[in-house]
Structure 1
Amino acid sequence: MTDKIEYSRQDDIAVLRIRNPPVNALSQAVRQGLSDAMDRAEAEDGVKAVLIVGEGRAFIAGADITEFGKPPQEPFLPDLCTRIEGSPLLVVASMHGVSLGGGLEVALGAHYRIAQPDARVGLPEVHLGLIPGAGGTQRLPRLTGAEKAIEIITSGRQVKAAEAEELGLVDRVTEGDPEAVGLAYVRELLSTGAPRRPVSELPAPEPIDWDATYDSVLKKGRGQISPATAVRAVQDSAEHPFAEGMKRERAHFMDLMQTDQRKGMIHAFFNERAVGNLPELKGVEPRALQSVGIIGGGTMGAGIATAALLAGLNVILIEMKQEAADAARERIAGNLQGAVKRGKLSESRYEAMMTTGLEVSVNYDSLRDVDLVVEAVFEDMGVKREVFGRLDAVCKPGCVLATNTSYLDVNEIAAATSRPEDVIGLHFFSPAHVMKLLEVVVADKTAPDVVATGFALGKALGKVSVRAGVCDGFIGNRILAVYRTAADHMVLDGASPFQIDKALTDFGFAMGPFAVADLAGLDIGWATRKRKAPHRHPEERVPTYIDRLCEQGHFGQKTGEGYYVYEKGKRGGTPNPKIAELVAEEQAERGITPRDFTDEEIVRRYMCAMVNEAAKVVGEGIARRPLDVDMTLLFGYGFPRFWGGPMKWADIQGLDNVLADIERYAQEDAWFWQPAPLLKKLVAEGRTFDDLNKAAS
C-alpha cells in the first residue's frame, strides 16, 4: 500500500483515507493505494464494510494533471472503479469539497454515497475534449436517467449536494466531519441489513430520442465533438449490458484521445493557468489594493465597478454631471441585481455594496485615498491625457493610474503625468463584469510592482490576465484588425459577409466578424478607418461600401440596421439586402470581377491572417509567448476553445503548411500577406509555437 492511503479500523469498518494534498488527485499512487487497501479490508477478519473518505479540501478533485500526456500506468481507473464496486463488503463514499471526473467515478463505484451540504460533484471531461472514461457514462444514467446524465456530462457543470441528492446521485446529505458522518451512515446501513448496491446492477436508463439529442448537443457545442460523443456513450448504457457499455465507453474515450480537439483543449486548460505566471514578476509584491476609483460610468465603467464590487473592493466612481452619476449608479445596480437573480449574490450583500461599497461622485477630490484608478472615458487621446493630468494632481503617491484604452498609446497617456512609472493599461472587455479577459498593458516606464498590481487586480476580479506591450490595439485588437481585414478583402473579391459569418460559426466561433461588427457598432470601425486614413499605405485595400451605410446613420444592432436587419422582439438579424448592392457598386468602381469562395477557403484565409499577425505580435515582443495570444483570443474574442487558440491551431495544421498558404496568398496581395519573420524562422528550424512556450516557461 502507498503512503497516499491511510488505512484504519473502526470496529467492523475499514476506513480508507485519501491523503494526496492539495485536492487528492487520482495519481497512480492513489489508485494503487486504494486497490491495495481494498485487498487488505477484504482479507482481514471481521471487516464488514469500507468507508472511503478524503483528507483536506476535497474527496477527489479528479485526475492528476501531472500525468497528462504520459503513458497510463496500472491500476487503470476503470479497473479500480470496477474493483471497488465488485467488493463483497459494503462500500460507502463520504464526499466533501469537490468530487470531479474520476473522483465522482470512484464514488459511483461505491455502493452508497453520503455528502456534505457544500459538496459539489461533476464530470467535466468535455472541457478537455474527452468523455468520462471510467464508467461515468454508464453508471450515472442508471441513477439519474439518460436526459439528466447527458445534461450533466455534456455541460461539465458542478452539481451541488442538494441537487445531487434529489437526482439520486447521492443517497444522503449530512453536515459534519466527513469521516464521522460517513461512519454513522455505514453503521446505520449495517444495522438495518442494507444490501450491497452496485450501480452497474441497477436497471439501464429508459431510452430517449438519441439522434435528436445527439444533433441538438452537436449544434450547441458549435463543432465540439466530445459532448455529442457522450450522448452516444449514454445511449450505449441503455442499449447494451453494463460490461459491453464499459467497453464502448472506453472505445469512445480512446478515439477522442487521438483528436486534434483534445490537443487544443488540453492546451487551453494548462495555459489558462500558465498565462499569469510571468518570470518578471517572481518575487515582486503588488501594491496594496482595497479601494478602486473609476472615471466614467458608461457601460464599460459600470461593468468594471460591478466586477470590483463583486470582488469585495470599495469603489468610487466619478462622472462629470449629477445626471450621469445617477445613471451610472442605476447601471451598476442593474448589473448587481442580475447577480442576485442568478443566486450569485445575496440581497444583504447587494445592499451593502450599493450603500457602503459604492460611492458615485462628480468630484475628482473623492479619489485622493484610492489605491488604483481605472479611466474608462471616450476613446480620444486629448480627453484621456486631460483625465490623467487631473488624476496626477489629486491621487496619492503610489496610486496606480490605469487606462482602459482599447487602442491608444499608453506611453503618450503616461506622459501626461509626473509619474509615468505608476501608469499602466488595463484593457477590459465589455461587459466587464462578465468577460474574462484582461489585457495588462505594460508601458515603457511602468514599474514592476505596478505590473504585479495589475495582475493582482485581475486575479481578484476572476479574470484571465495577459501581459501585453504597447502598440495600436495591443494583442487582441491588433490581430483582430488584420483578420477582419482578410474578411473584408474576401467580400470585395466575391464572398458575401453572410457566407463568411456562417463558415466561421461552423468552424466554432461564437459569432462571425460581420455579426460582431453589428453588435459592437459599425460607427467604431468607421471612426478607426477615418483615424488611420492619413497614414494609410497606398497599397492597402480598404472597403468603403460599409462607410456609405454608416453615413446614412445605420450602425448595426443599436440602430436596427447594419450588415443585418434587426426587428424588435426577434432574436438575431436577417441579411441586409442593401449590402449586396453596395458591395457590387464598389466592385464595379474598383474593376473587380467577383469569384466564388468555398467555406474551407474562407476559414483558411481568415485563420492564416490571424496567425501571421499573431506571429508578428510575438516576434516584436508585444506578446511575450504564443500562449499569451491564444488565451487573449480564447477569452476575449470568442475563439473556439477546442482549437486551443490560433497558435495551437497553426501548430496542429503544421507551420510549414500555414506559411505555404500565406506565401501563395501573397502572390495576389504582397502588401497584406507579408509572412511574419518569426513564422519563417520557426519553419526553417523545424520548430513550433509550442516550443517557444516551453522555452519561456
Structure 2
Amino acid sequence: MPEARDAVDYRFGDGIAWLAVANPPVNTLSRRVREGLGAALDRAEAEPGLKAVVLMGAGATFSAGADLAEPGRPSAGPAVVDLCARLEGFPVPVVAAIHGTALGGGLELALAAHYRIALSSARLGFPEVRLGLIPAAGGTQRLARMIGAKGALDMLLGGGMFAASRAPARGLLDAVAEGDLRAATEGFVRQLLETGQGPRRCSEMRQGFAEPAAYQKEVARRRDAAARQPEIAPRELVAAVEAAMLLPFEAGLAFEADVQETCLASDQSRALRAAFVSEGMAGRLGLPGGTARPALHRLAVLGGGGLAAQLVFTALNAGLELRWGTIDPEAFLTGVPQLRDAFAEAVKRGALTDEQAQDRMAGLKVGDSASMAADADMVVLAAQGQGHVPVPEGTVRAVACAGEVEALGLRFAQPGSASRLVEVVAGPVVSASELAAAQALVRALGKIAVRVTSRGETIAARLVAACQRAADALVDAGQNPYDIDRAFREWGWTRPPFEARDRMGLRELATQPRADGARNWSALLLGAGRGGRSARRGVYDWTADPSMPREDSALKTLLDAERPSAAAMPPDLIRKRVLGAMVNEGARMLASGMALRPSDIDVVALHALEMPRWRGGPMHLAGVMKLLALRRAMEGFDHPDRAFWAPEPIFAELVKNGRSFDDLNAEPVSRSA
C-alpha cells in the first residue's frame, strides 16, 4: 500500500510550501490523504525560511470531500476537523487554491485556510444534507461567520454546487482567477507577504453577524420551512447556523459535532447514504473493473413518437450530436417545433441561456432512419417498425421501445426528460461491449443505470405489479383504499399505491391475473367507467382539479357490494404487508438472476416508484423494519393468493443468520456477457 506521503505531493521553494492532494479521481479525504496532509504540514513547519503554505488539489479537482466508505465506521488517522484546526492555527499564512470542485470536507479545509483563491470555473458546495448529514469540521460555524445566515443556509440546505464567481460562494474567496491557477496563486501569496499580512483566522471573523436582527429573522424563516419537512438534517443545519452566532467558536464546533453524531446514527442518513452508494454501484452494470467505455459523440434516435422526442431532447440537452430518423417525415412537422418549445421553456426557467439553447438545437440533424443511422456511434430504436433499419457493422443498437429484447434494451423511467433512471436490459445474447456502450450513453445523459437480465421485463414493472397486487389484496380483506394510501402518505410516500394507480391509468392493471378468490379491483373500476386520472375518475375523483385527487364517497359503496366488511388494519400493518410483498418480489428477482443485487432494486424503487429517498427502497427497509416482522406480517395474512404471499426461502435464511438484504450488496461476480 502506498505510504501516506504519496497521497499529498509536497514541493518547497522560495519560502512557499506547496501541498497538493493526490487521490484520483476526485481527491477524496481518505485516511491516507488525511495522514499525508498531517505529515506534510509537519514537514512544512520544520522548513527553515518558511513564509507561506499553499493547499491545492492535483489533477482535475481540489477535493470532493469525505470518503463515503468511512462514515459510520471507526475512524482512524487524523480527523478533518483536526486538520482544519491545524490549518487555522498555522503560524504562517495558509492559502487554499481551488479548481474543479471543493465539496464537503474539502471546502471545510479551504475555509480553515487563512485565504482562498479559486478559478472562476470552480464550484463550491456542501452536499452533506443529501446524505442526511451536516458538515462536521466547522463548516457551519465558519460559513456563517463569513457570509451570514442567508448565504450559509443557501449553500447548506440545498446541497448543490455554486459557481466561484457568483454569490454566495464568491463571498468565501479573496480572489478569483482565470487561466493558470498556480501562477495566480503565487502572485497572490507574494502580494500577501509584501504587504505583511499574516494568518487571518475564520474563527475570529464576525462580518456574517453584522446585522443580528436580520440574521435571526433568516434563521427563524428557515426553521419554519424545515419544520414542515420530514428530514432531520435540514432542521439541524438551521440550528447549527443559529448556534454560530449565539455560541463561542469552540462551543459551536462541539454543537456541530454532537448534531452530526445524531444525524449519522439516524435511519434517515443510513437510507440516504445507502441510496447514494447504491446508485454508483448500480452504474457499473456488473462489468469487470477497467472495462473500457466507447467514445460517444453522435447518437441516432429512430422513431417519430413521444418517446423518441423525449430522448432527442435529453440527448441534445446533454450536449450530444443527435441524428433523429424516422420512416414518416411528417413526424418532424410537429416534433421539431415541440423541441424548440421545450428549449424555450428551459430558457424561461433559467435552466439554459438563449445561446446555450441555440447551441443545443444546432446539434440536431433530421432525416430518414437509414441515413441518420449511417454515421452514428450508437443507435437507439425508440418506436416500433425501426428494427429493419440497417446499422453499420460494429455500431451498437439498443431497443428503447416496449417489446422483446435479444441483445440490448434501454428502458427510460417516465417522464424520460426528467427521470434519472434507465434500466439497461441485458438480453440473452448481449455482449460486454454493448453493455459498455449503454453505460457510456447513460453517463453522457447524466442518468443512473441499473442492469436487468431479462428479455424486456423491467424491475420497475415487477415492483409496481407487486405493490398493486398487494394493495388489491388488502381491499379484498375489507380495507379502504384511501386508508391504505393515507398510511403511506403519512409515512412520507407522496405517490402511494392507489393514487399512483390512477395516475398511470387502470387499463393495464385491469389485465393482470389474480388468484382464485382474489379480485382485480382495477378491472371492476374500469368496468364502472372509472379509468383513472385521464378519465377524471378512478379510485379518486379528479374532476375538480386534474392535479389534485379527492376522495369519492361513491367508491366505498361500489367496493362494499363486492366484498365482506372488516375492521380497519393499523397503518403500520398496512405498510408491512405492502412493502413485504414488494421485498418478496425483489427476492424472486434476485433468485432468478433478473437483478444483480438488492440495492439495484432499491434504486429502481426510489426513482421509478418515487419512494421517499430518506426512507430507502424496499430491500433496505426490510432491514430497518426487521425481516422477521415482515415475514410474520405476510404469513399472518389469510388470503387466497397464497403463492404470492408466501415468503421466499431467503427470508428464513437471513433471519437465521442475523443478516439483512443490505448484507448481500457486495459487488457480485460479473456475468459473462
Work out whether the TM-score is over 0.5. yes
Report if the CA contact (8 A) 1:526-1:547 is conserved.
no
Of the candidates 120, 127, 132, which is equivalent to residue 129 of structure 1? 132
Which residues in structure 2 correspond to 1:264-343 (within 5 Å)? 264-279=271-286, 291-319=298-326, 321-341=328-348
Deviation by residue 1:208-229 (Cα, 9 ceiling, x = unmatched): 3646533422534xx3222222
2:308 aligned partner, one-letter code: G
Residues 87 and 456 (structure 1), Cα distance of their counterparts in 2 relative to 1, 3 Å cut: closer
Deviation by residue 1:610-640 (Cα, 9 ceiling, x = unmatched): 1111111111111122122112112322122
CA distance in 2, matches of 1:293, 1:672: 42
Q: Which residue of 1 aligns with 2:26?
A: 23
Q: Which residue of 2 aligns with 1:104?
A: 107
Report if the CA contact (8 A) 1:540-1:671 is conserved.
no
Of the candidates 598, 601, 605, which is equivalent to residue 573 of structure 2? 601
Return the TM-score normalized by structure 2: 0.88
Task: Please state whether the residue corresponding to 1:507 is helix, strand or coil.
Answer: coil
Q: Percent identity?
A: 35
Shift of 1:3: 3.8
Q: Which residue of 2 aligns with 1:376?
A: 382
Task: Please state whether the residue corresponding to 1:643 is helix, strand or coil.
Answer: coil
Deviation by residue 1:428-464 (Cα, 9 ceiling, x = unmatched): 1222122111111222333443333333322222221
Q: Which residue of 1 aligns with 2:598?
A: 626
CA distance in 2, matches of 1:167, 1:107: 13
2:243 aligned partner, one-letter code: D
Return the TM-score normalized by structure 1: 0.85
Of the candidates 149, 174, 178, which is equivalent to residue 177 of structure 2? 174
Report if the CA contact (8 A) 1:53-1:179 is conserved.
no
Q: Which residue of 1 aligns with 2:492?
A: 508
1:216 aligned partner, one-letter code: A
2:202 aligned partner, one-letter code: V
CA distance in 1, matches of 2:243, 2:323: 57
Q: Which has the higher helix share?
A: 1
Report if the CA contact (8 A) 1:666-1:672 is conserved.
no
Report if the CA contact (8 A) 2:151-2:168 is conserved.
no
Shift of 1:141: 1.0
Report if the CA contact (8 A) 2:279-2:600 is conserved.
no
Which residues in structure 2 correspond to 1:479-558 (within 5 Å)? 479-491=463-475, 493=477, 495-520=479-504, 522=505, 525-530=506-511, 532=512, 536-544=514-522, 547-548=525-526, 551=529, 555-556=532-533, 558=534
Residues 253 and 536 (structure 1), Cα distance of their counterparts in 2 relative to 1, 3 Å cut: closer
CA distance in 2, matches of 1:547, 1:319: 38
1:208 aligned partner, one-letter code: K
Of the candidates 152, 165, 170, which is equivalent to residue 162 of structure 1? 165
Shift of 1:16: 2.9
Deviates further, 445-454 or 265-274: 445-454
CA distance in 1, matches of 2:443, 2:26: 21
Task: Please state whether the residue corresponding to 2:636 is helix, strand or coil.
Answer: helix
CA distance in 1, matches of 2:291, 2:430: 13
Shift of 1:105: 0.6
Q: Which residue of 2 aligns with 1:415?
A: none
Task: Please state whether the residue corresponding to 1:623 is helix, strand or coil.
Answer: coil
Q: Which residue of 1 aligns with 2:79?
A: 76
Residues 263 and 491 (structure 1), Cα distance of their counterparts in 2 relative to 1, 3 Å cut: same
Q: Which residue of 1 aligns with 2:398?
A: 402
Q: Which residue of 2 aligns with 1:575?
A: 550
CA distance in 2, matches of 1:471, 1:218: 46
Task: Please state whether the residue corresponding to 2:53 is helix, strand or coil.
Answer: strand
Q: Which residue of 2 aligns with 1:445?
A: 429
Residues 342 and 98 (structure 1), Cα distance of their counterparts in 2 relative to 1, 3 Å cut: farther
Report if the CA contact (8 A) 1:608-1:658 is conserved.
yes
1:465 aligned partner, one-letter code: A
1:435 aligned partner, one-letter code: S
Shift of 1:508: 3.3
Deviation by residue 1:18-77 (Cα, 9 ceiling, x = unmatched): 333333322334333433444454455543433222222222221234444532123222
Report if the CA contact (8 A) 1:25-1:60 is conserved.
yes
Residues 368 and 177 (structure 1), Cα distance of their counterparts in 2 relative to 1, 3 Å cut: closer
Deviation by residue 1:329-382 (Cα, 9 ceiling, x = unmatched): 122223333444556555455435435523155x666545555443434xxxxx
Of the candidates 150, 154, 162, which is equivalent to residue 153 of structure 2? 150
Report if the CA contact (8 A) 2:31-2:76 is conserved.
yes
Report if the CA contact (8 A) 1:144-1:167 is conserved.
no
Report if the CA contact (8 A) 1:146-1:208 is conserved.
no
Q: Which residue of 1 aligns with 2:610?
A: 638
CA distance in 1, matches of 2:510, 2:636: 27
Deviates further, 363-372 or 634-643: 363-372
CA distance in 2, matches of 1:312, 1:658: 46
Residues 448 and 197 (structure 1), Cα distance of their counterparts in 2 relative to 1, 3 Å cut: closer
Deviates further, 460-469 or 110-119: 460-469
CA distance in 1, matches of 2:478, 2:571: 12
Q: Structure 1: which 5+ residue stretches go unaligned?
A: 378-383, 412-419
Q: Which residue of 2 aligns with 1:652?
A: 624
Residues 331 and 497 (structure 1), Cα distance of their counterparts in 2 relative to 1, 3 Å cut: farther
Q: Which residue of 1 aligns with 2:668?
A: 696
Of the candidates 137, 141, 144, which is equivalent to residue 138 of structure 1? 141
Deviates further, 25-34 or 300-309: 25-34
2:217 aligned partner, one-letter code: I
Q: Does 1:227 align with 2:227?
A: no
Q: Alignment RMSD, CA only?
A: 3.2
CA distance in 2, matches of 1:441, 1:528: 23
Which residues in structure 2 correspond to 1:192-207 (within 5 Å)? 192-194=195-197, 196-203=199-206, 205=209, 206-207=215-216
- What is the total number of aligned residue pairs between the two structures? 660
